[in-house]
Amino acid sequence: MKANSTVLLNTYLRHQGSPFSDSGFDAHRLHYEGVPTAAIPFLEWRTLSNLKRLEKNYEAYTAFSEFLQLVWDDQFELNPTEVELLEMLRVTRLRIQGLLSNLTSIMSALGAPPTAIADSLMLEAIEADTFEKKVRGYVVCHTYKEWIDRTVRDFSLLMEKFPA
């Protein structure tokens, strides 16, 4: 998932046109309401309990699953012939579903299955102009990549605490 998150972001940018596809484009400070941020102060992250760490991942990927469906819908409208991008978005969402299943199993094994997460997207989210849809997709793909990086660190820390 880590390698694919970089490929997804680069593929997404390539298919959006200028300024997204311009060399050196970087708008990592952009945010979009409801997209979970991976940023967290180091000490706060380091002192999270095992279950809280897993819960944060579960919450984030639940939201990403919804947002990636919205980005797929946007791209199907904006770039219907870009099969590679549409397929990458679809496969990424499927991988997230697998990760959510694994997180559910791990949390259940630790005695605290995840609680149901309410849908974070409202129907009004589809009412966006072309540029906003492109920005939203960029923020989702970029932040998803950041979350994958955080999840790798989270799981590495958990592996130290629970060696196989």
- Please identify which residue in the block is written with the tokens 């997404």: 12
- Please identify which residue in the block is written with the tokens 């050196």: 24
H-helix segments, the chain: 2-14, 42-46, 50-78, 83-109, 130-161
Q: In CATH, what is the architecture of 2-16+33-161?
A: Up-down Bundle (1.20)
How big is the chain by its Cα radius of gyration, in Å? Answer: 16
Query: What pLDDT, in 10s, does the model give residues 106-162?
Result: 999 989 998 888 777 777 777 899 999 999 999 999 999 999 999 999 999 888 887
Query: What pLDDT, in 10s, does the model give residues 56-71?
Result: 999 999 999 999 999 9
Domain definitions of the chain by residue range: 2-16+33-161
**What is the C-alpha separation between 43 and 32, in angstroms, rounded?**
26
Confidence of residue 164 (pLDDT cuts 50, 70, 90): low
User: Could you give the angle at the alpha carbon of 35 between the alpha carbons of 31 and 36, nearest 5°?
Assistant: 105
